[in-house]
Structure 1
Amino acid sequence: MRKQSLLKGTLILGIAGILAKSMGILFRWPLIMLIGDEGIGYYQMSYPLYTFFIAVASGIPIAVSKMVSEKNAIGDKSGAVQVLKNALFLMLILGGGFSAFLIVFSRQLLELFKWHENSYYALVAISFAPLIISIMNSIRGFFQGMQNMYPTAVSQVIEQLGRVCIGVGLAYVLLPKGIQYSAGGAAFGAAAGGFLAGTYLIYKYLRVRHEFDGIRVKRDSRILGKLLRLAIPVSLGAATSSIMGLLDSLIVPSGLLQAGFNSVQAATLFGQLTGKAMVLVSVPLTLSVALCASIVPTISDANILGKRNEVISKVNMAIRISWVIALPCVLGLYFMAAPILGLIFPGHADGYKILQVLCLTIPFIITLQTSTSMLQAIGRIYAPIINLCLGCFIKVIITYSLVSMPSINVYGAAIGSIVGYMIASVLNFRLLKRTLKISINYYDILIKPAFAAILMIIAVVFTYMYVYNITVSNGVSCLVSVAAGGILYSILIFVFGVFKYSYIKRRFLRQ
Structure 2
Amino acid sequence: MVNRFLQGTLILTIAGFVVKAIGSINWILLSRVLGGEGIGIYQMAFPIYLLSLQLSSAGIPIAISILTAEKIARFDYKGAQKVFKLSFYLLFATGLFFSILMWFGSDWLISSGYIIDDRAYLALLALSPAIFFVTLISCYRGYLQGWQLMTPTAVSQIIEQLLRVVVMLGAAYLLLPYGLGAAAGGASLGAGIGAFGALVVLIYYYYKLPKSPDDAHKQPDGPGESSGSIVKRLIKLAIPISLASLMLPLVANLDLFIVPRRLEVAGFSTSQATELFGYLTGMAVPLINLATIITAALATSIVPAISNANAIDDKKGVYYRTAGAMRITFMSTVPFTLMLYVLAEPVVSIIYNAPRAAEATQITAIAIFFLGMHQVTTGVLQGLGKPTIPVVNMGVAAICKVILNWNLTAISWLGISGAAYATVADIGVAALLNLIWIKKYTGYFLDFSLLWKNIVSAIIMGVAMFFLYAPLETIMHQFFAMAFTALIGGIIYVVVMVLLKGLNRHDGERMPVIGKFFRGKEK
Indicate whether 1:429 and 2:435 are aligned: yes
Please name the residue that 1:243 is paired with: 250
CA distance in 1, matches of 2:499, 2:393: 37
> What is the one-letter code of the residue matched to 2:86?
N
- 2:435–2:445 contact (8 Å) kept in structure 1: no
Segment drifting more, 240-249 vs 370-379: 240-249
Aligned with residue 388 of structure 1, among 375, 390, 394: 394
CA distance in 2, matches of 1:350, 1:177: 40
Please name the residue that 2:22 is paired with: 23
- Deviation per residue, 1:133-192 (Å, 9 max, x gap): 211121111111111111112122223333433334455556677878766665554444
Please name the residue that 1:158 is paired with: 159
- Deviation per residue, 1:219-262 (Å, 9 max, x gap): 73322222112111221122212332354566667888996436
- 2:370–2:427 contact (8 Å) kept in structure 1: yes
Aligned with residue 508 of structure 2, among 498, 504, 507: 504
Segment drifting more, 494-503 vs 136-145: 494-503
Residue aligned with 2:230, SS: helix
CA distance in 2, matches of 1:37, 1:268: 17
Please name the residue that 1:198 is paired with: 199
CA distance in 1, matches of 2:415, 2:176: 31
Indicate whether 1:300 and 2:307 are aligned: yes
Aligned with residue 270 of structure 2, among 261, 265, 277: 261
CA distance in 1, matches of 2:113, 2:364: 24
Segment drifting more, 399-408 vs 4-13: 399-408
Flag the 1:3–1:331 CA change in 2: closer, same or farther, 3 A.
closer
Alpha-carbon shift at residue 92 of structure 1 (Å): 2.6
Alpha-carbon shift at residue 373 of structure 1 (Å): 1.4
Indicate whether 1:73 and 2:73 are aligned: yes
Please name the residue that 1:234 is paired with: 241
Percent of pairs with identical residues:
33
Please name the residue that 2:377 is paired with: 371
Segment drifting more, 167-176 vs 35-44: 35-44
CA distance in 2, matches of 1:43, 1:349: 28
- 1:43–1:183 contact (8 Å) kept in structure 2: yes
Aligned with residue 465 of structure 1, among 458, 467, 470: 470
Alpha-carbon shift at residue 482 of structure 1 (Å): 2.6
Aligned with residue 292 of structure 2, among 264, 278, 285: 285
> What is the one-letter code of the residue matched to 1:204?
Y
Flag the 1:441–1:275 CA change in 2: closer, same or farther, 3 A.
closer
Flag the 1:308–1:218 CA change in 2: closer, same or farther, 3 A.
closer
Flag the 1:240–1:267 CA change in 2: closer, same or farther, 3 A.
same
CA distance in 2, matches of 1:402, 1:118: 41
Aligned with residue 450 of structure 1, among 448, 455, 458: 455
CA distance in 2, matches of 1:153, 1:301: 21
Segment drifting more, 288-297 vs 242-251: 242-251
Indicate whether 1:478 and 2:477 are aligned: no
- 2:436–2:445 contact (8 Å) kept in structure 1: no
Please name the residue that 2:221 is paired with: none
Alpha-carbon shift at residue 312 of structure 1 (Å): 0.9
- 2:2–2:509 contact (8 Å) kept in structure 1: no
CA distance in 1, matches of 2:44, 2:368: 23
CA distance in 1, matches of 2:16, 2:299: 12
Counterparts of 1:29-178 in structure 2, within 5 Å, are: 29-31=28-30, 50-52=49-51, 57=57, 59-102=59-102, 117=117, 120=120, 126=127, 128-170=129-171
- Deviation per residue, 1:375-415 (Å, 9 max, x gap): 12223232221111222334345556777889877666544
Residue aligned with 2:366, SS: helix
In the superposition, the TM-score normalised over structure 2's length comes to 0.81
Segment drifting more, 454-463 vs 197-206: 454-463
Gaps of 5+ in 2: 218-223
Alpha-carbon shift at residue 284 of structure 1 (Å): 2.2
Alpha-carbon shift at residue 40 of structure 1 (Å): 6.5
Segment drifting more, 174-183 vs 487-496: 174-183
- 2:68–2:147 contact (8 Å) kept in structure 1: yes
Segment drifting more, 22-31 vs 267-276: 267-276
CA distance in 2, matches of 1:127, 1:267: 33
CA distance in 2, matches of 1:460, 1:486: 9
CA distance in 1, matches of 2:157, 2:226: 31
CA distance in 2, matches of 1:113, 1:143: 42
In the superposition, the TM-score normalised over structure 1's length comes to 0.82
- 1:403–1:411 contact (8 Å) kept in structure 2: yes
Indicate whether 1:315 and 2:322 are aligned: yes
Segment drifting more, 374-383 vs 108-117: 108-117
- 1:95–1:134 contact (8 Å) kept in structure 2: yes
Alpha-carbon shift at residue 489 of structure 1 (Å): 3.2
- 2:86–2:227 contact (8 Å) kept in structure 1: no
CA distance in 1, matches of 2:49, 2:184: 15
CA distance in 1, matches of 2:37, 2:273: 9
Please name the residue that 2:228 is paired with: 221
CA distance in 1, matches of 2:414, 2:117: 27
> What is the one-letter code of the residue matched to 2:270?
F
CA distance in 1, matches of 2:173, 2:414: 36
Please name the residue that 1:8 is paired with: 7
> What is the one-letter code of the residue matched to 2:95?
G
CA distance in 2, matches of 1:431, 1:374: 10
Flag the 1:168–1:144 CA change in 2: closer, same or farther, 3 A.
same
- 2:44–2:120 contact (8 Å) kept in structure 1: no
- 2:322–2:444 contact (8 Å) kept in structure 1: no
Alpha-carbon shift at residue 78 of structure 1 (Å): 1.5
Task: Tell me how many residue pairs correspond in the alignment.
Answer: 505
Gaps of 5+ in 1: none
Structure with higher Rg: it is 2
- 2:168–2:187 contact (8 Å) kept in structure 1: yes
> What is the one-letter code of the residue matched to 1:375?
L
Segment drifting more, 24-33 vs 85-94: 24-33
CA distance in 1, matches of 2:263, 2:125: 26
Indicate whether 1:441 and 2:447 are aligned: yes
- 2:119–2:180 contact (8 Å) kept in structure 1: no
Alpha-carbon shift at residue 374 of structure 1 (Å): 1.0
- Deviation per residue, 1:72-111 (Å, 9 max, x gap): 1121211112211222222233333444555555688799
Flag the 1:359–1:506 CA change in 2: closer, same or farther, 3 A.
closer
